[in-house]
Structure 1
């Protein structure tokens, strides 16, 4: 059976999954590949891992196009994804209005679940925010770091911590059972990242990759994009 190979940030996993049935009906192809930290996915493409399409941050996709690994003319914005806070289902929701409130929230948590703080978009931002708030050393022992946000959220959902908090991209929170989106990061600490799709220059199935891009950005999928946690992007 024919498959489209994808290398994507974890932020797009839920959206791609929701579009898979329509994609198969249109093309006859399944979707296979990997979802993970954007830096790790970009490095896989650089190392020659077969891929027809990438869905990564706009900055990384532009860089890959400059390296002639992605077809520049194929690049299309999918939408913005906010970095947000998460709690376990059933736990008290956390609402923070400013940096001081976020600082108090993080200091009150006995476990902080985050994605890779070097290779992932949200993880690197969390590291920056902890330093900005002046609590990086104080909470270091409470950090629970996982390869990507989806894994971090799954682990938090089954954690026996008393007051866990999660911080990753909203799409990964919304796509994980057992956790609840508790709000975006406050002004001064916020991050909204544009994700874009592009066809790999060595794609074996470029027409099908273009078909998936059409679904990802199509006006008919606006509601699905929003439900998955994407804002803005294609009209």
Structure 2
């Protein structure tokens, strides 16, 4: 079984695939690439069984007939977090739930940062939209640094290319050379729902649906927790 995903869920999906195989389900070989590249490959008709992307990107593929619309299944909710460079080799303890009390604190941090890193994925798109909504796009022009496709923002932070970075918490946890301050506060939270779907090019749609159902089940909730994802996504929250 062939599957394709964005980098945001790479480690999580590897563990879910292992758990599925141990439960007697077909073995899934999951390739993880930049989300933009993944969506392009699916749209080009590459032979795949399962696709895992942010729900908005996956819905667009469903609208164009590249994945089965009826199979689109939310798997996890991911929070966007803030990180700075650390003198230590690895995050020593769990980050605070929220780095700042409110959006005003985040705006102040942006103003004080020299260079600000963001991703090519949904969290990066959302933070740019938030900055624009705050009327800070002009003020921060020239200081915003987008990570190259497939490169974690944590790498930019650890290497000193940026002073502060925004990305999915799940992609920052355990990364060397950074200190995670916490997730964005509720009044400016950027939450992304990641979902899975059966590709229309699947050679075994029934088996693919069975694997996807397992990935979404309560049986693997502890695996999602271990990777700093929320299971299951709460219906009131939407991918942004």
What TM-score, normalized by structure 2, do the two folds share? 0.80
- Alignment of 1:142 with 2:143, yes or no, is yes
Cα deviation digits, residues 19-75 of structure 1 (max 9, x gap): 2333444356352323322x4422221112332111122233223222221122322
Task: Report the CA distance between 1:211 and its aligned residue.
Answer: 4.2
Q: Does 1:21 align with 2:18?
A: yes
Q: Which residue of 2 aligns with 1:186?
A: 185
Q: Indicate the larger mover: 181-190 or 206-215.
A: 206-215
CA distance in 2, matches of 1:192, 1:11: 13
Please list the CA deviations of residues 160-208 of structure 1 after superposition, one character each: whole Å capped at 9, or x if unmatched: 66xx111011221126333343222223321212221111011134355
Alignment gaps of 5+ in structure 2: 235-240
Matched, 1:99 2:103: yes
1:109 CA displacement: 1.8
Tell me the alpha carbon deviations over residues 121-150 of structure 1, each in whole angstroms, 9 at most, x when there is no partner.
Answer: 011111112212332233232222113575
Maintained 8 Å contact 2:10/2:32? no
Identify if the C-alpha distance between structure 1 residues 112 and 72 changes in structure 2 by more than 3 Å, giving closer, same or farther. same
> For 2:62 and 2:160, how far apart are their aligned partners in 1?
40
Structure 1: where are the runs of 5+ without partners?
Answer: none
Contact 1:51/1:202 (8 A) holds in 2: yes
Q: In the TM superposition, what is the alpha-carbon distance from 1:153 to its structure 2 partner?
A: 1.6
Question: How is 1:148-159 mapped onto 2 (pairs within 5 angstroms)?
Answer: 148=149, 150-159=151-160
In the aligned structure 2, how far is the partner of 1:28 from the partner of 1:232?
Answer: 23
Figure out how many residues of one structure are paired with residues of the other and give that number: 226
Mapping 1:44-123, distance limit 5 Å: 44-90=41-87, 95-116=99-120, 120-123=121-124
The corresponding residue for 2:29 is 31
Counterpart CA distance in 1 for 2:54 and 2:30 is 20
Residue 9 of structure 1 contacts residue 56 of structure 1 at CA under 8 Å; is this kept in 2?
yes
RMSD over aligned CA atoms reads 2.8
> Do 2:48 and 2:202's aligned partners in 1 also have CA atoms closer than 8 Å?
yes
**Structure in which a larger fraction of residues adopt helix:** 1
Instruction: Report if aligned partners of 2:49, 2:203 keep a CA contact under 8 Å in 1.
Output: yes
* Corresponding residue for residue 125 of structure 2: 124
Partners of 1:149 and 1:101 in 2: CA distance? 29
Write the distance in 2 (CA, Å) between the matches of 1:8 and 1:220. Answer: 21
The 3-state SS of whatever aligns with 2:62 is helix
Contact 2:13 2:30 in 1 (8 A): no
Q: CA deviation at 1:215?
A: 3.5
Residue 197 of structure 1: aligned partner: 196
